[in-house]
Amino acid sequence: MKILIELPTWLGDAVMVTPAVENILLEYPSAKLTLIGSKVAIEALGGNPQVIKTIVLNKNFLSLYKESKKIGYFDYFISFRSSFRSNFFKFFVSSAKKYQYDKYSYKNQHQVQKYNSFICESFKFSKPPLELNLYIEKQNTSTSNPIIGLNPGASYGSAKRWGPQKFAEVAYNLSSNYDIYIFGGPNEQDAAIQIENYLLENGVKNYKNLSGKTTISDLISYISKLDLFITGDSGPMHIAASFNIPTVSIFGPTKDNETSQWMNVKSTIVKKTLSCQPCMKRTCPLGHHNCMELIQPEDVLNAINYVN
């Protein structure tokens, strides 16, 4: 059986799709998968041994049409995206059965459950979502100290970001017991540099600034080595969940009941409970950003006791 899967665009959503994909493979263990999607999604999920081909998707409509005609016939086409472009692509794909995720059809569920409910309805089976699954072995560390990871960025928008100065204060307080990795994408290097400068000014040298220097595969490998992770609501947060890394997740404008770490018993959430939460906006519509500004380094340091 040949199955074409269009992955969600964002890294975190791609990771949260993995239990649904695993349930497809439990139902059809001999299935051969072709994955199509964004570069980050393909890098994260392409290691599945039943994936025989991966395609980084060009969202230009003409390119979508040409790709749909080039990739051949499939028994199933499954799209985890609900955009017009995905609907356009689905129309031209040659497949006996086609199913597309509708983000408005599933409510009051964690995002992992939403994706899994879509799969169960499409394939007419009933399977609960199990753990997140990334096909990379957890790496052994070569450092003498345990390692803490800091992830100050969030691709969704500035409203999800906790201040780099506060991340730096947390790191400084833990630096005598942990070596420090600072993570971030190419557009998040400013925050990482601010953290680095604070550490240097306070005599801390046992850190690595990895922001903008890792592929997705590298990022997964580094996160798999961590002994503690401090992060906002982000893609790397879900990578950490797949390895059950002790994690403190800082939430502001987003719905932690939908996008918190899935099935990580070593996870805790730090957030305020404000009347304006969750607004789900990329930038604070009220201009004060209180849902994140009111969270202090002490709140995060105290939360570490719940995951260690």
* 138 in any annotated domain: no
Structure tokens at 304: 């570490």
CA distance 13 to 10: 5
Mean of pLDDT values over 90-118 = 97
CA distance 40 to 43: 5
Q: Are residues 153 and 301 in the same domain?
A: yes
Q: Is 212 exposed, middle or buried (0-12, 13-18, 19+ CB in 10 A)?
A: middle
Q: Are residues 167 and 267 in the same domain?
A: yes
Mean of pLDDT values over 81-110 = 97
pLDDT value, residue 166: 97
Q: Are residues 70 and 156 in the same domain?
A: no
* 141 in any annotated domain: no
pLDDT value, residue 141: 57
Question: What tens digit of pLDDT does each residue of 255-298 get?
Answer: 999 999 999 999 999 999 999 999 999 999 999 999 999 999 99
Q: Are residues 187 and 252 in the same domain?
A: yes
Question: What tens digit of pLDDT does each residue of 124-155 get?
Answer: 999 999 999 999 866 565 667 999 999 998 76
Q: What domain count does the chain have?
A: 2
Judged against a pLDDT cut of 90, whether residue 73 lies above it is answered with yes
Q: Are residues 39 and 118 in the same domain?
A: yes
Q: Are residues 188 and 240 in the same domain?
A: yes
Predicted TM-score (pTM) of this structure: 0.96
For 246, the enclosing helix (H) or strand (E) is: none
Question: What tens digit of pLDDT does each residue of 161-196 get?
Answer: 899 999 999 999 999 999 999 999 998 999 999 999
CA distance 91 to 258: 30
Domain assignment of residue 113, given as a range:
2-123
Q: Are residues 192 and 239 in the same domain?
A: yes
* 12 in any annotated domain: yes
For residue 23, the Cα-to-chain-centroid distance in whole angstroms is 19
For 26, the enclosing helix (H) or strand (E) is: helix 18-27
**Do the beta carbons of residue 269 and residue 260 sit within 8 Å?**
yes
**How many helices and strands, by DSSP H and E, does the chain display?**
13, 11
**Do the beta carbons of residue 17 and residue 42 sit within 8 Å?**
no
Q: Are residues 113 and 168 in the same domain?
A: no
* CATH number where 267 lies: 3.40.50.2000
**Do the beta carbons of residue 216 and residue 275 sit within 8 Å?**
no
DSSP designation for 286: T
Q: Are residues 181 and 114 in the same domain?
A: no
CA distance 193 to 8: 30
